[in-house]
């Protein structure tokens, strides 16, 4: 099993335990284990199979959890999950797919309104019974109604991070079987959407029936939905559907365009083709019955009078015009990034030391990082007060005095309190090298209140950036209500950065908002919100957000050398 499959089972156990009022510490242990497993850089199933490493060496994995991981890998299931699920109605877990409905709310709906399924919830909403429950306001009700369809149909969108693990494993497995000339994962995965519904894989091969046979025999396949000589569809044990298509080499580029999408982008391309008396489909670009292009994407775009458009931009948001006028942005790349500006250590809720985080960053050839442990308001993370924070900064100063060619910036993730005040005094913030301000509490306030809190932080002289600005958690919590245009204008005017947070569960700012902010003149910082050293690889997801927003390296301050980065911060103007 892949790491996301194991993590999903642990998450479900945590949900079931929470719904059943289990010990909060036990619930948290499974949640933390799920996050650790999901983010672990090596395939845990392979560690179990080979037996070269004790699973208890992994931080946060004790003997009991290690036994359960082994059980999952060897049997494909976790008996504890089955036992817990048997105590609840079968449709209750489907409700967790609805935005705004976590285990606590599902438990309340079940206990107070006898809701057992999405259908029961729909009835309760229509009868007005839900709005009578404490904590279920009009906005939550609106979200529930919007998300009911997905729950009723059993739909589950997978985080890009999880989908990438599955995609890489399948591609590696298929390539190991030989006979494949070209292979690509298309669809929303190639466009780097934050969540993925299914995977579309394209291959060219001289022995496509054998490739289809091997695909159907993949160890994670739970069901072969269909299989022919050139196409097969399977469902994996985790529920993900994967389609594999073999196409002829002369049509590979056309198929890649077609199956990458988006649908709206493809419609625009077909309109242009018709204007030039062409016909465009997944088999190629045709003049009458003659195929004039199709082997590569580039030749298709060229014959349509367009520059090749990076997949991340193919959303029909003006990229066609830019490609026609040769004005497409030179999108930021991972290689452009020189430092990571949000990460946590074991001083708060991280799992690595300062030295371990720095070592991981140097391995990525970064020039600098900022250690940004939580401020004191985040009590669950053992947030730092002024005294502890200054003690940490002293350690960082000593580290920098010994280091050459790499710098750790003294930072903090500073809470913006419910009142709009900041969690630490100005004299402390003035001593920092970098401060990223965030909201963790009071997210149910009104749009006006939340906007005022963020704008106040943006305008504060010692706040350099706003972190995960919308507060969303993918699949679990939508962003809080916010007048984003007001925030973006304030950030541009004050010189405050907005963060593109690449943690797979956040991916915040959303690409559409980042694009809107860029038009206001906002500058950005790309960060990972790492809580352990191997999380630093999440930078690629922050870059994905930036690329989907059309951002170039010049729009992002941590593409600059350290001296230039420091000058780009708002605090630099305070120290002149």
The residue whose two tokens read 């279920």 is: 136
Cα-to-chain-centroid distance, residue 463: 25
pLDDT in tens, 496-544: 999 999 999 999 999 999 999 999 999 999 999 999 999 999 999 999 9
Full DSSP string of 519-537? HTT--EEEE--BSSGGGGG
Using DSSP, state whether 16 is helix, strand or coil.
Answer: helix
Instruction: Round to whole Å and give the CA distance between 213 and 230.
Output: 10
How far apart CA 530 and CA 539 sit, in angstroms, is 9
Beta partners for residue 370, in sequence order: 409
- The CATH number given to 3-152 is 1.10.150.110
In angstroms, the CA 447 to CA 452 distance is: 8
436/342 Cα distance (integer angstroms): 8
Distance CA 147, CA 144 (A): 5
The radius of gyration of the chain's CA atoms, rounded to the nearest angstrom, is: 25
* Domain at 251-324: CATH architecture: 2-Layer Sandwich (3.30)
SS3 content of the chain, % helix, strand, coil (to 5): 50, 15, 35
What is the distance between the alpha carbons of residues 507 and 518, in angstroms, rounded to a whole number?
Answer: 17
- Euclidean distance between CA atoms 55 and 275, whole angstroms: 61
Helix (H, G, I), strand (E, B) or coil at 284: strand
Q: Tens-digit pLDDT profile for the chain (576 aa)?
A: 788 888 889 988 998 998 888 888 899 889 888 988 888 878 888 888 887 678 888 878 889 999 999 998 888 888 998 898 888 887 787 787 776 678 888 888 888 898 888 888 888 888 888 888 887 877 778 778 877 766 655 556 889 999 999 999 999 999 999 999 999 999 999 999 999 999 999 999 999 999 999 999 999 899 999 999 999 999 998 789 999 999 999 999 999 999 999 999 999 999 999 999 999 999 999 999 999 999 999 999 999 999 999 999 999 999 999 999 999 999 999 999 999 999 999 999 998 999 999 999 999 999 999 999 999 998 877 899 999 999 999 999 999 999 889 999 999 999 999 999 999 999 999 999 999 999 999 998 999 999 999 999 999 999 999 999 999 998 778 888 899 999 999 999 999 999 999 999 999 999 999 999 999 999 999 999 999 999 999 999 999 999 999 999 999 999 999 999 999 999 888 765
Q: Which of 243, 218, 223 lies closest to 233, judged by CA?
A: 243
CB atoms within 10 A of CB 86: 9
Distances (CA, A) of 313 to 158, 317, 426: 21, 8, 41
d(CA 130, CA 123): 10
**pLDDT tens, 377-423?**
988 778 999 999 999 999 999 999 998 899 999 999 999 999 999 99
Which residues, including other chains, have CB under 8 Å from residue 545's CB and lie 6 or more apart? 194, 500, 502, 507, 509, 510, 511, 514, 526
Q: Taking the model in full, what pTM does it have? A: 0.88
Q: Check for a shared fold between 3-152 and 158-246.
A: no
Per DSSP, the three-state class of 79 is helix
Give the integer Cα–Cα distance in Å for 414 and 264: 41
Residue 286, CA distances (Å) to 120, 200, 279 in order: 52, 24, 5
Ranges of each domain in the chain: 3-152, 158-246, 251-324, 334-574
Left, alpha or beta for 326 (phi > 0: left; psi -120 to 50: alpha)?
left
Show the tokens assigned to 430: 């003035």
Q: What is the DSSP string of 435-449?
A: EEEE--S-TTS-HHH
On the 0-12 / 13-18 / 19+ scale of CB atoms within 10 A, 423 is: buried
451 CB neighbour count, 10 Å cutoff: 20
Q: E strand or H helix at 468, and its extent?
A: none
* Class of domain 158-246 as given by CATH: alpha beta
> Which helix (H) or strand (E) segment is 542 a member of?
helix 539-548
Write out the two tokens for 87. Answer: 């105590």
DSSP 135-149: T--HHHHHHHHHHHH
Domain topology for 334-574: TIM Barrel (3.20.20)
CB atoms under 10 Å from CB of 18, counted, come to 20
Q: Could you tell me which of 335, 459, 333, 352 has the C-alpha nearest to residue 408?
A: 352
């Amino acid at each position: 099993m892949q790491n996301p499959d194991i993590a999903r089972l642990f998450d479900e156990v945590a949900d079931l335990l929470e719904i059943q009022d289990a010990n909060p510490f036990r619930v948290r242990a499974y949640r933390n284990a799920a996050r650790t497993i999901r983010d672990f850089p090596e395939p845990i199933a392979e560690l179990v199979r080979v037996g070269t490493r004790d699973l208890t060496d992994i931080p946060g994995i004790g003997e009991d959890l290690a036994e359960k991981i082994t059980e999952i890998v060897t049997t494909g299931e976790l008996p504890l999950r089955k036992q817990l699920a048997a105590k609840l109605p079968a449709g209750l877990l489907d409700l967790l797919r609805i935005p705004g409905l976590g285990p606590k709310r599902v438990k309340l709906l079940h206990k107070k309104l006898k809701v057992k399924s999405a259908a029961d919830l729909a009835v309760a909403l229509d009868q007005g019974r839900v709005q009578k429950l404490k904590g279920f306001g009009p906005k939550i009700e609106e979200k529930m109604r919007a998300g009911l369809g997905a729950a009723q149909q059993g739909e589950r969108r997978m985080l890009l991070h999880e989908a990438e693990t599955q995609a890489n494993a399948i591609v590696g497995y298929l390539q190991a079987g030989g006979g494949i000339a070209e292979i690509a994962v298309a669809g929303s995965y190639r466009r780097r959407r934050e969540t993925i519904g299914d995977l579309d894989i394209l291959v060219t091969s001289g022995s496509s029936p054998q490739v289809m046979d091997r695909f159907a025999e993949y160890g994670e396949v739970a069901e072969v939905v269909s299989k022919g000589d050139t196409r097969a569809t399977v469902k994996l044990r985790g529920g993900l559907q994967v389609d594999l298509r073999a196409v002829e080499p002369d049509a590979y580029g056309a198929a890649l365009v077609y199956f990458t999408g988006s649908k709206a982008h493809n419609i625009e391309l077909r309109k242009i083709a018709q204007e030039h008396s062409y016909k465009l489909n997944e088999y190629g670009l045709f003049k009458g019955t003659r195929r004039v292009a199709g082997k590569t994407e580039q030749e298709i775009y060229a014959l349509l009078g367009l520059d090749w458009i990076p997949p991340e931009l193919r959303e029909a948001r003006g990229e066609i015009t830019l490609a026609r006028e040769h004005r497409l942005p030179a999108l930021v790349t991972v290689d452009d990034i020189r430092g990571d500006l949000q990460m946590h250590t074991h001083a708060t809720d991280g799992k690595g030391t300062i030295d371990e985080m720095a070592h991981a960053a140097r391995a990525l050839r970064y020039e600098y990082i900022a250690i940004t442990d939580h401020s004191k308001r985040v009590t669950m993370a053992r947030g730092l007060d002024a005294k502890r924070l200054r003690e940490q900064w002293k350690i960082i100063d000593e580290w920098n005095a010994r280091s050459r060619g790499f710098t750790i910036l003294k930072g903090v993730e500073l809470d913006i309190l419910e009142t709009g005040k900041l969690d630490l005094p100005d004299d402390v913030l003035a001593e920092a090298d970098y401060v990223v301000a965030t909201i963790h509490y009071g997210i149910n306030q009104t749009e006006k209140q939340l906007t005022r809190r963020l704008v106040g932080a943006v305008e504060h002289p010692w706040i350099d950036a706003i972190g995960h600005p919308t507060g969303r958690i993918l699949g679990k919590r939508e962003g809080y209500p916010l007048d984003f245009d007001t925030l973006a204008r304030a950030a541009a005017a004050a010189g405050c950065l907005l963060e593109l947070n690449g943690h797979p569960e956040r991916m915040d700012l959303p690409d559409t908002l980042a694009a809107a902010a860029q038009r206001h003149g906002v500058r950005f910082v790309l960060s990972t919100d790492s809580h352990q050293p191997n999380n630093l690889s999440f930078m690629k997801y922050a870059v994905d957000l930036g690329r989907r927003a059309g951002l170039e390296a010049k729009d992002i301050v941590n593409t600059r050398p350290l001296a230039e980065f420091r000058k780009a911060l708002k605090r630099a103007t305070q120290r002149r």
